[in-house]
Structure 1
Amino acid sequence: MMRIIIALLSGALFGAGLAISGMADPMRVRAFLDLFGAWDPTLAFVMGGAMIPMALAWIVQRRVSRPFADLAFALPDTRAIDGKLALGAILFGIGWGIGGLCPGPAIASLALSPAAAAPFVLAMLGGMAIHHFTIKS
């Protein structure tokens, strides 16, 4: 039960941060990617600000034997950069540039402007389903 409460609180905090920072607005993201037009550096500050709590989280993770609400940390098995990772990053970047959203802000946008976010979220879920049923890990 504690894991569910922590997950809900974490998701609510993340969603609120996206809404407050304006990162759930696809036009703000597109303006960040428009380097030679009306460039908006806001996203760079949001990403830079996100590095501070993440750095602290890595420090804490190294010093404790287990997480507060689980038996072990769920860390990636490898750090290798392979073709699958590169292709996934390329597809993510293309989708992010075209749609102005990535999965977190897209879900948050469902609460803020559902009609605008729904096509992106449906396409995202369709892509996830295609991957699930066609790509072998």
Structure 2
Amino acid sequence: MAGILLAATSLACILWLFPGHVSSETTPGDLPPTVIPYLSAGVVFLLAVGLVLQTLFRDTGEELPVPSKSVLSDVLFASAATGVILLAFYKAGFLALAIPLTAVTMIFSGGRNRLVIALVSVLFPLMVWLGARFIFGVYLP
């Protein structure tokens, strides 16, 4: 099911989203802006087809495992928390939310070393913010 959904989404991007919303104008010597979107959607489509084929030709003779309720509740909680944080980025700013989001993600993923969590949670968002600002000229909110 996931492979079919991914394949349909990538085809929708290739056939509808990119032609209508990605500029095809290019300057001499540059790649057209459509190269990366089409390339990434094409890779997703090929991987989705592989996922569908793997599912169709599976010959294990055993049923697929059903995730426990704790796994599903963890995924729902993480998805809801991430959605709220992403919606709050424009109000609070990138650094104010990226630092705690990185720390919570590391803790949620099983990280236990407090020094590593603190250093990565501060340094990684700061490097992303500085790189976006000074290398790419993009001002993050």
Q: TM-score range by the shorter chain?
A: under 0.3
Q: Which has the higher contact order (CA 8 A, sep 6+)?
A: 1
TM-score, normalization: structure 2?
Answer: 0.26
Q: Greater Rg, structure 1 or structure 2?
A: 2
